[in-house]
């Protein structure tokens, strides 16, 4: 059962990239960057593997293909980040977090990005692209703070490009050695599937736990603010 699940997931990702090419990479990275947790650590290496296997960008040189994949990933990051930026700029953060929790959009992680942005300022948009969790949510506080849009776009793209390039390159290394690793991973299909499912379960558990704490703190803060306003009146 677990081996079949692994094959199904692999087939879905492969079909997406085969049928849409670079557009599929743009789409996947846009999803990750608009606060929905789709790890770039999966999206970009898979693209690298498929490049060296000839399943995407067939006939393109290795260097050009790697560059195009990295650019597609960075473009996706920019598109998704702009969406999150606009949400924050327009004041839609509470609404996004209220209904986004059903997609595992995390208030806890968004609050963490808020604190990071307020501590380090606009440069965070660039450097956070190398940081887990923060990279996914940093666009929200950037929009709330009304960071200049052009500056936001430049920092986002330039920060995302080396990250996407590195992950795609790691994927090509894995892809070049797939003949050697293939039999090993095939024999360990069940172990890998269990590990993946375990990681997903751990993420969901962490998400639920942290969300309860974050929302409890937020509710308590609102309660104190309301009480303070009544006292002043």
Worst-scoring range by mean pLDDT, 1-5, 91-95, 122-126? 1-5
Cα separation, 122 vs 181, in Å, equals 43
pLDDT reading at 22 higher than 50: yes
Q: Are 137 and 214 in contact (CB under 8 A)?
A: no
Residue 215's alpha-carbon distances to 46, 67, 111, 211, 219, in angstroms, are 35, 42, 11, 6, 6
pLDDT reading at 231 higher than 70: no
pLDDT reading at 63 higher than 70: yes
Write down the pTM of the prediction: 0.74
Cα separation, 203 vs 7, in Å, equals 22
Q: What's the burial of 16, exposed, middle or buried (CB within 10 Å: 0-12/13-18/19+)?
A: middle
């Amino acid at each position: 059962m677990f081996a079949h699940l692994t094959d199904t997931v692999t087939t879905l990702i492969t079909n997406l990239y085969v049928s849409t090419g670079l557009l599929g990479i743009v789409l996947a990275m846009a999803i990750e960057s608009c606060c929905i947790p789709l790890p770039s650590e999966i999206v970009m290496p898979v693209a690298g593997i498929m490049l060296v296997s000839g399943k995407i960008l067939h006939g393109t040189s290795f260097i050009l293909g790697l560059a195009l994949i990295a650019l597609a990933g960075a473009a996706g990051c920019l598109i998704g980040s702009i969406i999150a930026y606009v949400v924050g700029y327009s004041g839609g953060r509470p609404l996004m977090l209220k209904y986004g929790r059903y997609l595992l959009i995390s208030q806890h992680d968004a609050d963490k990005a808020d604190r990071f942005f307020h501590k380090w300022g606009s440069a965070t948009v660039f450097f956070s692209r190398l940081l887990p969790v923060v990279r996914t949510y940093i666009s929200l506080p950037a929009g709330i703070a009304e960071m200049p849009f052009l500056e936001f776009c430049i920092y986002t793209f330039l920060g995302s490009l080396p990250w996407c390039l590195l992950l795609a390159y790691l994927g090509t290394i894995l892809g070049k050695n797939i003949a050697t690793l293939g039999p090993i991973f095939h024999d360990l299909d069940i172990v890998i599937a269990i590990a993946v499912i375990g990681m997903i379960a751990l993420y969901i558990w962490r998400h639920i736990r942290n969300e309860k704490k974050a929302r409890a703190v937020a509710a308590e803060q609102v309660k104190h603010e309301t009480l303070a306003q009544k006292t002043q009146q």
